[in-house]
Amino acid sequence: METDTEELNILRNKIDEIDKQIINLLDERVSICKEIGKIKKIKKIKITDKSREKEILLRAGNFKSIYIEIIDICKKAQGDYNEI
């Protein structure tokens, strides 16, 4: 039988694994945003797309504040390629 401490450690390890997955997915998202930034630069399209941001934030549900930060980071990544 597991002690409370052992159970906590098991659950925390699961959270650590989930965090690794989230970080990997965020890295992938930023990489894709950089590619989008390259395309926007070539086509002279502005980085900010308010309708797209609104769409994403509607899907974010309880994670809206987190997604505001994610969007900001991704726009900065696009800005590395596009100064419009």
Please state the rounded mean pLDDT for residues 19-31. Answer: 98
Token pair, residue 30, equals 């930023």
Q: pLDDT tens-digit profile of 43-57?
A: 999 999 999 999 999
Q: What is the pLDDT at residue 81?
A: 59
- Provide the sign of the torsion angle of the four alpha carbons 55, 21, 14, 16, taken in this order: negative
Which stretch of DSSP H or E encloses residue 72?
A: helix 64-79
Average pLDDT of the chain, as a whole number: 93
The CATH fold assigned to 4-79 is: Chorismate Mutase Domain, subunit A (1.20.59)
**20/27 Cα distance (integer angstroms):** 11
**What share of residues in the chain are helix, strand, coil (percent, to 5)?**
85, 0, 15
pTM to 2 decimal places: 0.85
